[in-house]
Amino acid sequence: MAARIIDGKSIAIQIRSELTDRIAELKRRGIVPRLAAVLVGDDPASAVYVATKQKTTDAMGMASEVIRRPAHTSFDELASLIGDLNRRKDLHGYIIQSPLPDHLDEASLVELIDPAKDIDGFHPENVGAMTLGFPRFLPCTPAGIVELLVRSGIPIPGSEAVVLGRGNIVGRPLSILLSLKSPNGNATVTLCHSRSRDLAAHCRRADILILAMGRPESVTGDMVKPGATVIDVGINRVDEPTTPKGYRLVGDAHFASVSEVAGAITPVPGGVGPMTVAMLMTNTVTAAEQQLANAG
């Protein structure tokens, strides 16, 4: 029996609609939530992603801007820009779009962001608060995945969750969220990575299997527990000469075989991606509310 498709687009629309009243209340008090994206260089995927964020922000009645800098921009120049963004009263949150050119130390730049404007949730102060269970902002993709599970009726407490990939953007923070003592946590979590032995055996134990390794179609149906929920974070471009663009987008799951075994699965695209943007909007509204409260 084919797996149920978890529609990230429709759930993201629901989350965005739930922000309507909060945005209206902020506007009533003279505040238009504003976010900015700093885009360094000319990475095509980053440009598309930032444009999607800007389009969504505008459609929700918030304000947005894209700050572009050439690829040769120095660390000191970006640090100066970050200082300016931290001081701007009209700007409630901003992101530094990844990936950055190789000569820039992304972690050091993130540390310069005002934690109250860190709507990506990557500043060490915000990561620490999340780890302790008292978050200001949650990282957008992990938070979006938890929302996907909760709103799709997938039970997290008591489940065996296996996360493939230990990156700081998705895998590691997600493993923390799923294991927190909270209504949307309390899972038993295994965090796998490139040095894990017998990856297939780990996968077959999972009630919830999160794929975030960036290896196209590497997880096949024989690696999945029957009835498991599979959340595919991977977005990989593979050559396909027969298509107009010459390529197709695939996840880390071999969708055809995995969907025959799993109970539920996210598609690529249309699964996790829209949720990441929706959670960025949520963090922006939260940042505006918090800054307004602190100003009072």
In a domain, 131, yes or no: no
Q: How far apart are CA 18 and CA 37, in angstroms?
A: 23
Strands 63-69 and 34-40: parallel
CB–CB of 135/164 below 8 Å? no
Task: Specify the pLDDT at position 107.
Answer: 95
Strands 236-239 and 247-250: antiparallel
- Condensed to tens digits (0 to 9), the pLDDT of residues 162-180 reads 999 999 999 999 999 999 9
- How does residue 1 score in pLDDT terms, banded at 50, 70 and 90? low
Q: What angle do CA 212, 213, 218 make, to 5 degrees?
A: 105
Q: Are 147 and 100 in the same domain?
A: no
Q: How many residues does the chain have?
A: 296
**Catalytic member of 114, 118, 120, 252:** 120
Total tally of structural domains belonging to the chain: 2
Domain that holds residue 146: 140-272
Residue 69 tokens, joined: 């800098």
Q: How far apart are CA 235 and CA 13, in angstroms?
A: 21
Q: Are 161 and 41 in the same domain?
A: no
Q: Are 89 and 149 in the same domain?
A: no
Q: Is 120 a catalytic residue?
A: yes
Contacts of 21 (CB under 8 A, 6+ apart): none
Task: Specify the pLDDT at position 242.
Answer: 84
- Condensed to tens digits (0 to 9), the pLDDT of residues 258-275 reads 999 999 999 999 999 999
Q: Is 14 a catalytic residue?
A: no
- Condensed to tens digits (0 to 9), the pLDDT of residues 88-105 reads 999 999 999 999 999 999
In a domain, 266, yes or no: yes
Q: Are 54 and 93 in the same domain?
A: yes
Task: Specify the pLDDT at position 238.
Answer: 87
Q: Is 54 a catalytic residue?
A: no
Q: Is the pLDDT of residue 66 over 90?
A: yes
Number of Cβ atoms within 10 Å of the Cβ of 110? 20
Q: Are 158 and 227 in the same domain?
A: yes
Residue 106 tokens, joined: 């992304």
In a domain, 12, yes or no: no
CATH of the domain at 226: 3.40.50.720
Q: Are 178 and 100 in the same domain?
A: no
**Catalytic member of 97, 117, 225, 252:** 97
Q: How far apart are CA 120 and CA 271, in angstroms?
A: 19
